[in-house]
Amino acid sequence: MHVEKALLPGVGTRYDFTTAAGRQVGVVARRDGTTELVVYAEDDPEYVAESVILQSEERATLVELLMLPPDPTDLAQPRT
């Protein structure tokens, strides 16, 4: 998977990639230690449609959750 890296002077570094479904998402690693998750608009890859700023502890929790293996019992459970 190709990841584009862009320096944001005075802010930090942005990392963007395109998902298999064609959505462009990114992570901004800010100089102040926060991380911003961004999802770009489907019809305009320059426009940030959604963003969430995470503190370092929240970022660490998200990383842990993303690294979890799928739980096979979840597949049998209907979503509510």
Coil, helix or strand at residue 43: coil
> pTM of this prediction?
0.80
**The predicted structure's pLDDT at residue 46:** 87
* Single-letter residue type at 18: T
Q: Taking 90 as the threshold, does the pLDDT of residue 80 lie above it? A: no
Coil, helix or strand at residue 64: helix
Residue 50's pLDDT band (cuts 50, 70, 90): very high
